[in-house]
C-alpha cells in the first residue's frame, strides 16, 4: 500500500496544499487540490520554465477568482483542471499525477 500523502479531512476545499512523494522513482513536490471527496494532484512545476509554483515551500498564490498563480512569472492555472489560462505558458497545463482517496487517505494511484 502506498504511503498516505494527506488525510482528506485535513485538506481545505479548493486550496492548494503541498505534499512530497516519490514519482517515477524521483522525489517530487506535489500540489494537492480538494473538491469535495475528490483530490487532484499535479507536479509542483510550472510548464513555462520548470520552476516550482510556490513562492515559499508549500505557500501558493491564488488570484481573486481562484486561479493558481506561478510565483516566478505569473502564469495562471485553473483548478482543478491545471490548464494555464494566462501568462507565458497559456494553453499548456500542469502535469497531473494520479492519486486516489481510500479510507480517508490520499495516496498515489497504483
pLDDT of residue 60: 97
pLDDT of residue 2: 62
- Listed by start position, the domains of the chain span 6-108
Q: How many CB atoms lie within 10 A of CB 86?
A: 14
Q: Are the CB atoms for 81 and 92 separated by under 8 Å?
A: no
Instruction: Read off the pTM.
Output: 0.94
Instruction: Tell me the three cell numbers of residue 76.
Output: 495562471
pLDDT in tens, 47-99: 998 999 999 999 999 999 999 999 999 999 999 999 999 999 999 999 999 99
Q: What is 6-108's CATH topology?
A: Rieske Iron-sulfur Protein (2.102.10)
Q: How big is the chain by its Cα radius of gyration, in Å?
A: 13
How far apart CA 15 and CA 33 sit, in angstroms, is 6
Q: Over 80: is that where the pLDDT of 1 sits?
A: no
62: Cβ–Cβ under 8 A, 6 or more apart, which residues? 15, 16, 68, 69
Amino acid at each position: 500500500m502506498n504511503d498516505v500523502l494527506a488525510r482528506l479531512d485535513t485538506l481545505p476545499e479548493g486550496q492548494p496544499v503541498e505534499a512530497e512523494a516519490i514519482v517515477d522513482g524521483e522525489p517530487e513536490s506535489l500540489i494537492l487540490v480538494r473538491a469535495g471527496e475528490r483530490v487532484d494532484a499535479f507536479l509542483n512545476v510550472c510548464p513555462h520554465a520548470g520552476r516550482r509554483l510556490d513562492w515559499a515551500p508549500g505557500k501558493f498564490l491564488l488570484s481573486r477568482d481562484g486561479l493558481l498563480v506561478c510565483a516566478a512569472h505569473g502564469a495562471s492555472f485553473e483548478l482543478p483542471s491545471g490548464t494555464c489560462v494566462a501568462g507565458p505558458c497559456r494553453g499548456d497545463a500542469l502535469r497531473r499525477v494520479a492519486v486516489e482517496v481510500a479510507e480517508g487517505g490520499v495516496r498515489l494511484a497504483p
